Every structure is written in structure tokens, then in C-alpha cells.
């Protein structure tokens, strides 16, 4: 491996590289409008609990928009990724079924899109073996996202899977030959890793016809989403109890927002730097209503934090109401949710088997 590719991996979240990724994402967005059939997207989530607004505004809403613009959309329930940094899987079955319900309620259409899960796709997982031979240990140790995830586990030892899951994630993306991955900034190192693996595979086992690589070079599609905070002004996370889950009731939503942290100044203004908590509530209201956060702030003005919280509550509950209704109905029909997942897994297995056959052939292991 060349030192320049190691650097590319380590610096894939640097400012210059982030700016490039954003610029590239804008170009891709135009290309999608011109011809959505050129793209296949793959994204995924770890089934570790219920989806919340951070997931929705961060990626889920964007996936639905891409699907509706005509892009072939693959959504992965990353059940094997759950065991990277913890001992057990928790109530995994319920979580997986809930995640499928969240997806469909949010607008992922199982007729057009493919929803599937890791543990049901053997050929996807088998790609991990040849892919692992294409990365170095030092490269794995240098991945900044894995590093910060390990730090967040408070002294837990790095498991073999934790160290190598970015390679497994490359298999997620490459098995279905996705060329576009709509993700947040934290996933950029993983995407760089996937590109390096695709490149190295073709270099090592390349077909005679170099114009037909086995794998595409997947690109990130960064969506323009501001960093959302939890209702207490700290990082949004389920364990802090500062999130609003898609499946919560309108009353639970109102209760959480009532307790939301604000500041001592009565006049409401949008100023993310100096007034992070108030601005975060304004941003939530803006994302839910489509209104500019400055305009909302002006409307509320001297009516203070109580009025702001009421505004956010109404805007979020109005936006979430139809989703919640669909979700409740879906959860009552577990058989349907399982049938969606099975149909998605059938499609994913077909694709994974075809890709593995190509890989075997390239590696001359097709006996
Ligand atoms: N690592 C992602 C997360 O924690 C989930 C994920 C798994 C993923 N496989 C993926 C995202 C493939 C994009 C592409 O959120």
C-alpha cells in the first residue's frame, strides 16, 4: 500500500477533504436529477434502539427523497455491526422489526427499495475474507471513526470485529455494487476504505478488460444537515434521554420539549454560536416546518422560551403525525414487516451470490 492512500484514509475527515466531498456531493445531486438510473445507493443503520429525529433529519428523510427521485435504493439493517462494541445484541429481533417499521413509516417503499439485513446474506459476509487481505493492520488502527467509537466505550478493549468492521462495511456497499452512499461526515473514512478495497481488488485480481472493473468506486453523498443537539443541549443520544423518537406519542414529545434546556434571555434569536440550545430548538422547528429559523425566531420574539417550545412541539407533532399513524399500524402487523424483510433478503442474496461468483472467477477460485 502506498503512503498516499494511508494518508487519504487518515485525512478523509479533514477540512479540505470535507470541502471536496461537499462540492462533489453537489455535482452528484445534479447528475441524479439528469439521470437517476445511473445510481444505486446503499445505506444502513445499526439496530440498537428506536430511530430518533437525528436519524430522520440526518439521513432517513434524504434516503426517501432519493428513492422518490428514482434512485435504486438499498437499505441495510446492520445486525452484525451491533456486536462491534458491546457484549450482546439486546432484544435484537424486536429492534430489527421496529427498524423496518420506521423505514416504511418514513417513506421507504418496499416495492421499489430493498430492505435487508447482514445475518441473512452469507455471500455478503464471505466477501470480508478476500477484502481483509487488502488492508493493513496499521490502516485499520488509523481509522478515526473506529478510534472515537472505541473511546466512547469507556475503556473497553478493541474487539477484532470492531477493528475490522469498516472492511465489513465495504462488503455491504460493494456486494450490491452501490456507487453512492448517503452518509454523515463520520462515515467518510469508511467510504474511503471501501474505495481503496475496490481499487486494490481490481489491481490484484483485475480482469483482462480493465474497463470493466469488478467493483465500482463508491462515493459519499453528504446531505446538508446541521448538527442537531439533544433537547438538553448536549450530543443527541438515546442513553442521555434527550432524543425524540419517531415512534413516540405527541404527548411524550411535548413532555420532552417542555423540559428542553434554553437560556436566560427572553428574546428569542437564532444564534447557534452563542445560543446553542435555543438555536437547536429553532433548527428543529425549521426542519419540521420548512420555515427559515430566523423567521421563526422573529415570529416568537419576546414571547420567550415557553412559546418557542410550543412552536417546536406543534411543528414536530404535525410533521410526525402521519408517520406515527403508519408506524402504529405496521407494528400491529409483524407478519407483514417480516415478509418485507424476507423479500428484501431474497433480492439481496441473489445480488450477493452473483457478485461472489464474479469475485471467485476473478480470483480463479471458480472450480
Ligand atoms: N456504520 C453505519 C452507522 O453506524 C451503519 C452502516 C452499516 C452503514 N453498513 C453501512 C452505512 C453501509 C452506510 C453504508 O450508522
Same domain for 209 and 261, yes or no, is: no
CA distances, 207 to each of 93, 124, 131, 197 (Å): 41, 21, 17, 15
Same domain for 212 and 268, yes or no, is: no
Candidates 48, 144, 169, 178: which one to mutate for ligand 1, based on the most atoms within 8 Å of Cβ? 169
Candidates 78, 146, 168: which one to mutate for ligand 1, based on the most atoms within 8 Å of Cβ? 78
* CA 196 to centroid of ligand 1, rounded, Å: 17
Among protein residues, the one with the nearest Cα to ligand 1's atom 10 is: 44
Same domain for 191 and 289, yes or no, is: no
Of 131-140, 145-154, 249-258, least confident by mean pLDDT is 145-154
Chain-centroid distance of CA 268 in Å reads 32
Nearest in space to 57 (alpha carbons), one of 188, 182, 173, 238: 182
Q: What pLDDT score was predicted for residue 5?
A: 57
- Euclidean distance between CA atoms 367 and 356, whole angstroms: 13
Q: Looking at the domain assignment, is residue 356 inside a domain?
A: yes
Candidates 81, 95, 164, 173: which one to mutate for ligand 1, based on the most atoms within 8 Å of Cβ? 81
* Domain around 81: 3-225+348-362
Ligand 1-lining residues (CB < 6 angstroms): 42-46, 76, 78, 81, 169, 172-173, 181, 183, 187
* pTM for this entry: 0.92
* CA 302 to centroid of ligand 1, rounded, Å: 43
Chain-centroid distance of CA 245 in Å reads 16
* CA 44 to centroid of ligand 1, rounded, Å: 4
**Residue 2 scores a pLDDT above 60:** no
Residue 42 CA: nearest ligand 1 atom is 14
**Residue 1 scores a pLDDT above 50:** no
**Residue 9 scores a pLDDT above 70:** no
Q: What is the CATH number of the domain that holds 298?
A: 1.10.240.10
Same domain for 257 and 190, yes or no, is: no
Q: What pLDDT score was predicted for residue 190?
A: 96
pLDDT interval class at 12 (50, 70, 90)? low
* CA 173 to centroid of ligand 1, rounded, Å: 9
CA distances, 19 to each of 34, 143, 187 (Å): 23, 19, 15
Q: Looking at the domain assignment, is residue 236 inside a domain?
A: no
Q: Looking at the domain assignment, is residue 32 inside a domain?
A: yes
Per the model's pLDDT, the better-predicted residue between 357 and 1 turns out to be 357
Q: Looking at the domain assignment, is residue 109 inside a domain?
A: yes
Q: Please, what is the Cα angle at 314 between 312 and 317, to 5 degrees? A: 100
* CA 347 to centroid of ligand 1, rounded, Å: 19
Same domain for 197 and 170, yes or no, is: yes
205-263 pLDDT tens trace = 986 567 789 999 999 998 777 678 999 999 888 778 899 999 999 999 999 999 999 99
* CA 308 to centroid of ligand 1, rounded, Å: 34
Same domain for 213 and 313, yes or no, is: no
Same domain for 183 and 282, yes or no, is: no
54-100 pLDDT tens trace = 999 988 999 999 999 999 999 999 999 999 988 899 999 999 999 99
What's the rounded mean pLDDT across residues 11-30? 84
Candidates 127, 166, 190, 225: which one to mutate for ligand 1, based on the most atoms within 8 Å of Cβ? 190
Q: Looking at the domain assignment, is residue 62 inside a domain?
A: yes
Of 116-120, 173-177, 195-199, 209-213, least confident by mean pLDDT is 209-213
CA distances, 103 to each of 45, 72, 308 (Å): 10, 15, 29
Phi, psi values for residue 69, rounded to 5°? -85, 0
Same domain for 327 and 353, yes or no, is: no
Same domain for 18 and 119, yes or no, is: yes
Average pLDDT of the chain is 93
**Residue 10 scores a pLDDT above 70:** no
Q: Looking at the domain assignment, is residue 280 inside a domain?
A: yes
- Other Cβ atoms less than 10 A from the Cβ of 140: the count is 19
48-58 pLDDT tens trace = 988 999 999 98
Q: What pLDDT score was predicted for residue 229?
A: 92
Q: How many domains does the chain have?
A: 2
Q: What is the CATH number of the domain that holds 155?
A: 3.40.50.620
Q: Looking at the domain assignment, is residue 130 inside a domain?
A: yes
Q: Looking at the domain assignment, is residue 339 inside a domain?
A: no
Q: Report residue 334 as a C-alpha cell.
A: 409483524
Same domain for 215 and 304, yes or no, is: no
288-332 pLDDT tens trace = 999 999 999 999 999 999 999 999 999 999 999 999 999 999 999
Same domain for 217 and 278, yes or no, is: no
Same domain for 202 and 265, yes or no, is: no
Write a three-state SS string for the chain: CCHHHHHHHHCCCCHHHHHHHHHHHHHHHHHHHHCHHHCEEEEEECCCCCCEHHHHHHHHHHHHHHHHCCCEEEEEECCHHHHHCCCCCCCHHHHHHHHHHHHHHHCCCCCCCEEEEHHHCHHHHHCHHHHHCCCCHHHHHHCHHHHHHHHCCCCCCCCHHHHHHHHHHHHHHHHCCCCEEEECHHHHHHHHHHHHHHHHHHHHHCCCCCCCCCCCCCEEEECCCCCCECCCCCECCHHHCCCCECCCCHHHHHHHHHCCCCCCCCCCCCCCCCCHHHHHHHHHHHHHHCCCHHHHHHHHHHHHHHHHHHHHHHHHHHHHHHHHHHHHHHHCCHHHHHHHHHHHHHHHHHHHHHHHHHHHHHCCCCC
Amino acid at each position: 500500500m502506498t503512503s498516499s492512500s494511508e494518508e487519504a484514509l487518515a485525512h478523509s475527515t479533514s477540512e479540505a477533504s470535507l470541502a471536496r466531498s461537499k462540492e462533489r456531493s453537489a455535482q452528484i445531486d445534479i447528475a441524479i436529477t439528469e439521470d437517476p438510473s445511473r445510481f444505486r445507493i446503499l445505506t444502513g443503520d445499526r439496530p440498537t434502539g428506536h430511530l430518533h429525529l437525528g436519524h430522520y433529519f440526518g439521513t432517513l428523510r434524504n434516503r426517501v427523497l432519493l428513492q422518490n427521485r428514482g434512485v435504486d435504493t438499498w437499505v441495510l439493517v446492520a445486525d452484525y455491526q451491533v456486536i462491534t462494541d458491546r457484549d450482546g445484541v439486546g432484544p435484537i429481533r424486536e429492534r430489527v422489526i421496529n427498524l423496518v417499521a420506521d423505514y416504511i413509516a418514513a417513506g421507504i417503499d418496499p416495492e421499489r427499495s430493498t430492505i435487508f439485513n447482514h445475518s441473512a446474506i452469507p455471500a455478503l459476509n464471505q466477501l470480508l475474507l478476500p477484502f481483509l487481505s487488502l488492508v493493513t493492520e496499521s490502516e485499520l488502527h488509523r481509522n478515526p471513526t473506529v478510534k472515537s467509537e472505541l473511546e466512547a466505550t469507556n475503556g473497553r478493549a478493541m474487539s477484532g470485529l470492531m477493528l475490522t468492521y469498516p472492511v465489513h462495511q465495504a462488503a455491504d456497499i460493494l456486494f450490491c455494487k452501490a456507487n453512492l452512499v448517503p452518509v454523515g461526515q463520520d462515515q467518510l473514512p469508511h467510504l474511503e476504505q471501501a474505495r481503496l478495497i475496490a481499487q486494490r481488488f481490481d489491481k490484484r485480481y483485475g480482469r483482462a478488460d480493465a474497463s470493466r472493473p469488478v467493483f465500482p468506486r463508491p462515493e459519499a453523498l453528504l446531505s446538508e444537515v446541521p448538527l442537531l443537539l439533544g433537547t438538553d443541549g448536549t450530543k443527541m443520544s438515546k442513553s442521555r434521554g434527550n432524543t425524540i423518537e419517531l415512534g413516540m406519542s405527541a404527548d411524550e414529545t411535548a413532555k420532552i420539549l417542555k423540559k428542553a434546556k434554553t437560556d436566560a434571555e427572553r428574546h428569542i434569536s437564532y444564534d447557534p454560536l452563542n445560543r446553542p440550545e435555543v438555536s437547536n430548538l429553532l433548527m428543529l422547528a425549521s426542519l419540521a416546518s420548512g420555515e427559515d429559523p430566523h423567521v421563526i425566531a422573529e415570529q416568537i420574539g419576546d414571547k420567550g422560551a415557553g412559546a418557542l417550545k410550543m412552536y417546536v412541539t406543534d411543528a414536530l407533532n404535525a410533521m410526525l403525525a402521519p408517520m406515527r399513524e403508519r408506524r402504529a399500524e405496521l407494528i400491529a402487523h409483524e407478519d407483514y414487516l417480516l415478509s418485507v424483510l424476507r423479500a428484501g433478503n431474497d433480492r439481496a442474496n441473489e445480488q450477493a451470490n452473483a457478485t461472489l461468483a464474479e469475485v471467485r472467477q476473478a480470483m480463479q477460485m471458480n472450480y
